[in-house]
Amino acid sequence: MIQPIDIAEMQRDFAKAFLLASERYATPRETIARECERAGVDVRDVLSPKRDRVTAHLRQDIMRMIRDTTDLSLPQIGRLFGRDHTTVLHGITASEARKKGSAQ
């Protein structure tokens, strides 16, 4: 049976698709700046050796976003943050685990 179109649902779907498309084409540096602004954390802190929980989790989440939205390799992502590719791999894994844990 054909369902009637719900305008509010269609608007939400369009907004979500638009947001995903705009994030898909952001440069890695734009992604870093945007996510730091959203979280209220200075970009310099995310790029520094700081290891407090908020900064480290944000850094790991940004690494995952860059990995998901670009074709950059782990070493290339690591160079953006001044880190080794194994650190990037750990960060992405930790971010995904937190994301799965919060979804449940």
Predicted confidence at residue 7, as pLDDT, reads 79
Predicted confidence at residue 8, as pLDDT, reads 79
What radius of gyration, in Å, describes the C-alpha atoms of the chain? Answer: 16
Query: What are the residue ranges spanned by the domains of the chain?
Result: 40-104
Predicted confidence at residue 34, as pLDDT, reads 95
What are the angstrom distances between the C-alpha of 53 and each of 13, 23, 57, 104? 33, 25, 6, 21
Per-residue pLDDT of the chain in tens (104 residues, 90 and over written 9): 677 777 777 777 777 776 666 655 789 999 999 999 999 999 999 999 999 999 999 999 999 999 998 899 999 999 999 999 999 999 999 999 999 988 76
Query: How many beta carbons lie within 10 A of that of residue 71, not counting itself?
Result: 6
Structure tokens at 46: 């995310």
Predicted confidence at residue 2, as pLDDT, reads 74
Predicted confidence at residue 23, as pLDDT, reads 58
Predicted confidence at residue 25, as pLDDT, reads 74
User: Domain 40-104 classified CATH 1.10.1750.10?
Assistant: yes
Do residues 46 and 59 touch, judged by C-beta distance below 8 A? yes
